């Protein structure tokens, strides 16, 4: 059975990716730093080919141990990240920046590098954000997701010779815990800007990931697939 690893897989978009890949016939390792969330999700995965694992993606020793325990991977989805707190630029500290880069970028780098060392061929899908294009607030998050796009393109060029595709999926606003932290005013403001009238369901992002993970999607590499209901293609002209 083909094996996929999904980081941050215990909840939100990650959990939707885990369920979608399992339903498509993958054996899935759902790794997440939150042990309680893994235990809770595992109760729902009882009859599915899904194994929950507690993992901090920034801990290379733990990443190696997990990969050695579960055999070669065919697909890796770098989904784990910290939330996009929308702080104004003037209020950001070096610690905000360091944390976003350590978890969102370095964590994805470590997992992708250790996986690529062990993969014969397959697909790596990095979850970026439409925010990588920029916006008001959360410059540290924007920078981290732009870096995710950067490593996606760099990895794609190097790994294409080995039959490994590397792409990014950049979601717009998705209904998960990540946006629960927004104030009602911020949420209303963001909702107003959504062409679909509100946040996307996590399953929509999972569908895009499943395509890129599938044999049909493997000829696509080095791309950023924006899944945002069209929010980024232009503003209203009238």
Ligand X SMILES: NC(=O)c1ccc[n+]([C@@H]2O[C@H](COP(=O)([O-])OP(=O)(O)OC[C@H]3O[C@@H](n4cnc5c(N)ncnc54)[C@H](O)[C@@H]3O)[C@@H](O)[C@H]2O)c1
- State the catalytic residues: 141
Q: Which is nearer to ligand X, 13 or 156 (CB)?
A: 13
27-32 vs 50-54, strand pairing mode: parallel
Q: How far is the CB of 134 from ligand X (least distance, A)?
A: 14
Name residues contacting ligand X, limited to 32-71 (CB under 6 A). Answer: 32-34, 37, 55-58
Q: Using CB under 6 A, pick the residue from 81, 115, 164, 210 that binds ligand X.
A: 81
- The CB-of-12 to ligand X minimum distance in angstroms stands at 2
Scan residues 160-199 and list those touching ligand X (CB under 6 A): 171, 173-174, 176-179
DSSP 103: I
Using CB under 6 A as the binding rule, whether residue 21 contacts ligand X is answered as no
Specify whether the CB–CB gap between 178 and 84 falls below 8 A: yes
Number of residues near ligand X (by CB under 6 A): 31
| Binds ligand X by CB under 6 A, chosen from 21, 53, 67, 107 | 107
Contact 172, 229 (CB under 8 A): yes
Beta-carbon contacts of residue 196 (< 8 Å; ≥ 6 apart): 229
- Which one, of 157, 156, 155, 128, lies nearest residue 144 by Cα? 128
Question: What is the distance between the alpha carbons of residues 189 and 191, in angstroms, rounded to a whole number?
Answer: 6
Q: Is residue 125 helix, strand or coil?
A: strand
Within 8 A by CB and 6+ apart from 162, the residues are 116, 119, 120, 121
Measured from the CB of residue 74, what is the shortest distance to ligand X in angstroms?
20
Single out the residue of 3, 4, 14, 114 in contact with ligand X (rule: CB under 6 A). 14
Binding site for ligand X (CB under 6 A): 7-8, 10-14, 32-34, 37, 55-58, 79-83, 103, 107, 127, 129, 171, 173-174, 176-179
């Amino acid at each position: 059975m083909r094996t996929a690893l999904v980081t941050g897989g215990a909840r939100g978009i990650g959990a939707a990716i885990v369920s979608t890949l399992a339903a498509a016939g993958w054996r899935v390792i759902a790794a997440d730093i939150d042990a309680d969330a893994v235990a809770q999700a595992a109760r729902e995965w009882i009859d599915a080919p899904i194994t929950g694992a507690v993992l901090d993606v920034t801990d290379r020793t733990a990443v190696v141990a997990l990969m050695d325990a579960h055999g070669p991977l065919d697909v890796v989805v770098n989904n784990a990240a910290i939330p996009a707190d929308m702080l104004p630029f003037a209020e950001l500290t070096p610690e905000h920046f360091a944390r976003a880069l350590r978890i969102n970028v370095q964590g994805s780098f470590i997992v992708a590098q250790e996986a690529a060392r062990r993969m014969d061929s397959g697909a790596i899908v990095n979850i970026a954000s439409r925010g990588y294009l920029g916006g008001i607030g959360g410059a540290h998050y924007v920078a981290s997701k732009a870096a995710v796009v950067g490593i996606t393109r760099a990895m794609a060029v190097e790994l294409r010779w080995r039959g490994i595709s590397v792409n990014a999926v950049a979601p717009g606003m998705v209904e998960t815990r990540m946006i629960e932290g927004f104030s009602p005013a911020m949420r209303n403001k963001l909702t107003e800007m959504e062409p679909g009238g509100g946040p996307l369901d996590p399953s929509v992002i999972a569908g895009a990931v499943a395509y890129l993970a599938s044999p049909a999607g493997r000829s696509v590499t080095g791309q950023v697939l924006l899944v945002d209901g069209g929010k980024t293609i232009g503003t209203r002209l009238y």
